[in-house]
């Protein structure tokens, strides 16, 4: 997904997030409807109890689960906007490596919100992870261009500097989103989380575009798309759907920080 976004670096960030969400919504909605129809067909069996369509799309009727579904979708959508911005305005290796700060954030939030254990080894691992990200990524926006050893302290690019902090903020929001999945547990299927994430992403990207760019026309491209661009956008959406679904499945079974680390790999 990130590679597709990098190839589309000259396309508006909010436009990419918008179409990514449309594709994700289309796939997850189709999967939920097909599953619901199949379950309705065999509703008299004990293993396939009938569930109303409203509950299929919105999750269980209890307020707590739906609250965390909304939290997961809202922070997940905001994190994607931040990641896409960082990828488009930084070297791909820098942006992806900065995303690896998600596991420490997720671990810290999981301790506070879910009560997951965070032993001394986990704390040391988080510190090593953050230091490793700073040393390996070595973002040019903060450290300057290192291609010339005599200009180690080069003037930082303001746009890349802002991209670094936006990406880190995205990592923190992704950590909150992943911890929300742990709070939900098996109360809602992973596919419902993917669907709600895509749905909530649409108003978030519209409002964000209106706030930061003065326009909400995120469905309009500022240039003519080629066949290659269309294929990349489709692959971006499909891979985003797959990444969200498998990550949610993993988070339902494993600790938040562990899944975030594996997801980053």
Residue 76 belongs to some domain of the structure: yes
Residue 48 belongs to some domain of the structure: no
- pLDDT, one tens digit per residue, over 54-65 is 888 888 888 888
- Residue-level length of the chain: 265
Is the Cα dihedral 186, 179, 21, 227 positive or negative?
A: negative
Q: What is the pLDDT of residue 151?
A: 45
What's the rounded mean pLDDT across residues 152-159? 55
- pLDDT, one tens digit per residue, over 234-252 is 999 999 999 989 988 888 7
Please indicate whether residue 98 or residue 79 has the higher confidence score (pLDDT).
Answer: 79
Instruction: Name the DSSP class of 151.
Output: G
**71 within 8 A of 180, measured Cβ to Cβ:** yes
Residue 211 belongs to some domain of the structure: yes
**Confidence band (pLDDT; 50, 70, 90) for 203?**
very high
Residue 13 belongs to some domain of the structure: yes
How much is the pTM? 0.76
**Number of domains observed in the structure of the chain:** 1
DSSP 160-219: HHHHHHHHHHHHHHHHHHHHHHHHHTTSS-HHHHHHHHHHHHHHHHHHHHHHHHS---TT
Long-range contacts, 121-126 (Cβ 8 Å, 24+): 122/257
Tokens in use for 165? 């902090």
Residue 56 belongs to some domain of the structure: no
- What is the span of the domain harbouring residue 26? 2-41+61-264
SS3 68: helix
**Confidence band (pLDDT; 50, 70, 90) for 153?**
very low
Q: What is the pLDDT of residue 48?
A: 59
Residue 85 belongs to some domain of the structure: yes
Residue 198 belongs to some domain of the structure: yes
Range with the poorest average pLDDT among 16-30, 96-110, 173-187, 250-264: 250-264
pLDDT of residue 229 exceeding 90:
yes
Residue 49 belongs to some domain of the structure: no
- pLDDT, one tens digit per residue, over 207-228 is 888 887 888 888 888 888 899 9
Give CA–CA dist 32/57, Å, rounded: 7
Instruction: Name the DSSP class of 206.
Output: H
């Amino acid at each position: 997904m990130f590679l597709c976004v990098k190839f589309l670096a000259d396309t508006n960030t909010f436009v990419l997030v918008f179409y990514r969400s449309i594709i994700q919504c289309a796939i997850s909605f189709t999967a939920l409807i097909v599953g619901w129809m199949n379950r309705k067909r065999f509703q008299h069996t004990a293993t396939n109890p009938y569930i109303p369509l409203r509950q299929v799309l919105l999750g269980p009727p209890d307020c707590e689960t739906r609250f965390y579904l909304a939290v997961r979708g809202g922070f997940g959508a905001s994190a994607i906007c931040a990641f896409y911005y960082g990828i488009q305005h930084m070297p791909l290796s820098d942006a992806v490596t900065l995303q690896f700060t998600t596991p420490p954030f997720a671990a810290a939030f999981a301790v506070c919100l879910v009560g997951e254990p965070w032993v001394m080894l986990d704390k040391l691992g988080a510190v090593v992870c953050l230091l490793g990200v700073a040393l390996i990524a070595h973002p040019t926006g903060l450290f300057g261009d290192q291609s010339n050893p005599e200009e180690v302290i080069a003037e930082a690019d303001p746009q890349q500097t802002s991209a670094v902090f936006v990406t880190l903020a995205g990592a923190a929001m992704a950590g909150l989103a992943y911890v929300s999945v742990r709070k939900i547990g098996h109360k809602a299927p992973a596919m419902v989380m993917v669907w709600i994430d895509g749905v909530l992403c649409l108003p978030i990207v519209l409002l964000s575009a209106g706030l930061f760019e003065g326009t909400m026309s995120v469905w309009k491209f500022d240039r003519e798309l080629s066949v290659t661009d269309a294929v990349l956008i489709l692959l971006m959406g499909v891979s985003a759907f797959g990444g969200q679904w498998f990550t949610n499945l993993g988070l339902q079974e494993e600790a938040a920080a562990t899944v975030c680390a594996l997801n980053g790999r």
